[in-house]
Amino acid sequence: MIESLSKQQAGKLALLAQGLPPAKPAGTAKEATLSAIEHLGYVQIDTLSVVQRAHHHTLWNRNPRYQAAQLDQLLADKKVFDYWSHAASYLPMRDYRYSLPRKEALKNGTQRHWFERDEKMIRHVLQRITSEGPLRVKDFEQKRNQGSAWRVKPAKQALELLFMQGDLMVPKRINFHKVFDLAERVLPDGMDTSLPTPEEHARFLITRYLLANGIGTVSEFTYLRKNIKKEVVRVLAEMLAAGELIQVRVAEDLYYALPASLELLNQPLARSKLKILSPFDNLVIQRKRTQALFGFDYLIECYVPAAKRQFGYFCLPILWDGKLVARMDCKADRKTSVFHMLHLALEPDFIKLDAFFQALKKELNAFLQFNECNRLQVHRTTPVKVKSALEAVWTA
């Protein structure tokens, strides 16, 4: 039997599974941060700092008591680790062994790293870190590999390759630069380092995704992962036949879900709370899913030539009333403490302006503080006529 959900129900299920808007987290602030990472399965790391970096932003949206130092402490406590999900991420240490299939594939050559192997440099890097302890790229010579299109120095290439294949780990970052050490010195005692079977790995990807997202498809389970789709399809069929999964139809699309997930729909959604999301937030990172469930056609335009941008360099999706209703291009000028709302663009059919602006004001007060700013400057809105209404609400 296939369950049917409306798009509104499917969106609500996805939001409740993602913890958005968040309920009041239990425990200490650091415990709530760890709980969020363990539930989401990963938090994407990003270098862009137009506003607070993506990993901090995503966690703050799940835990209002979040502070950046908590993530550093969780790394030091060996509760999370720095590696790769579909992109560079912080992952729960409890899930460490499920990072091993990618590492093994890179090590045995069934998956290629973007850098070529330089065995002499690899031995040199390993020897120095073994004898000297944790090192950064800057601790190695500055000579560049002129033959490489990447123009990255050989030591950095070796460090990144050893990191990706699991010989090295990152116990901390200094000014966002990775510090590398031997994996055995970073892992907590008693860590299970056995390689999961292909079936175990596929089952993990399916189950973890559904716990964090409510419903999912094969392409979502395998997003930006290589050589895993065939096994995921096989395991999905087994889990479905065993009653471990159900199928859910949303409009023309067919999803999988854990049987207990639909019970989330009995919980209320905090529709009055507004959240300003990171472009790399787990809720919106898969753009096709965002379009399918929320009707929100989203593209981060920092990679688009300036002349072709429709909304702005770094637009943040805005969640309110169970929907993605707007996007805000912005920049936090921390030197002057001014938060620049460069462009607030409302979705074309959006009409609940008064309630929305009140919710936006409340969240912006917290968001400015999170971004080390205390003043807001509104530059442009779409439609143009709502700019004065927004400024009136903000200054009231």
Phi, psi (degrees; rounded to nearest 5) at 34? -60, -40
> 10 Å Cβ neighbour count for 246?
19
pLDDT, tens digit (0-9, with 9 covering 90-100), for 103-150:
999 999 888 877 888 899 999 999 999 999 999 999 986 555 555 444
Strands 338-346 and 375-378: parallel
- Among residues of the chain, what percentage have pLDDT more than 70? 97
If you average pLDDT over residues 255-262, what whole number do you get? 97
For 252, the token pair is: 């023309």
Residues 312-317: contacts with CB under 8 Å, at least 24 apart: 312/342, 312/343, 313/50, 313/342, 314/48, 314/50, 314/51, 314/279, 315/279, 315/343, 315/345, 316/51, 316/276, 316/277, 316/278, 316/279, 317/276, 317/277, 317/279, 317/281, 317/284, 317/290
Over residues 167-192, mean pLDDT: 96
Question: What amino acid occupies position 173?
Answer: R
pLDDT, tens digit (0-9, with 9 covering 90-100), for 22-58: 988 889 999 999 999 999 999 999 999 999 999 999 9
**What is the pLDDT at residue 25?**
83
pTM of the model as a whole: 0.94
Amino acid 345 reads: A
Residue 326: count of CB within 10 angstroms of its CB: 24
- Amino acid identity, residue 183? A
Among 111, 17, 38, residue whose Cα is nearest residue 81: 38
Kindly tell me if the per-residue pLDDT of 293 is higher than 70.
yes
* Strand-by-strand arrangement of the 80-84 sheet: 43-44, 88-92, 80-84
pLDDT-above-90 percentage for the chain = 91
Q: How confident is the model at residue 308 (pLDDT cuts 50, 70, 90)?
A: very high
For 313-369, the pLDDT digits (tens) are: 999 999 999 999 999 999 999 999 999 999 999 999 888 999 999 999 999 999 999
Q: What is the mean pLDDT of residues 273-300?
A: 97
Buried-state track 289-299, b at ≥16 Cβ within 10 A, e below 16: bbebbbebebe
- As a three-state string, the secondary structure of 5-33 is ECHHHHHHHHHHHHCCCCCCCCCCHHHHH
Q: What is the pLDDT of residue 148?
A: 47
Inter-residue contact 218 to 255 (CB < 8 Å): no
Per-residue model confidence (pLDDT) at position 143: 54
The span from the CA of 291 to the CA of 297, in Å, is 5
**Confidence band, pLDDT 50/70/90 cuts, at residue 85:** very high
Residue 287 has pLDDT above 90, yes or no: yes
Mean pLDDT taken over the chain: 95
The letter for the amino acid at 58 is T
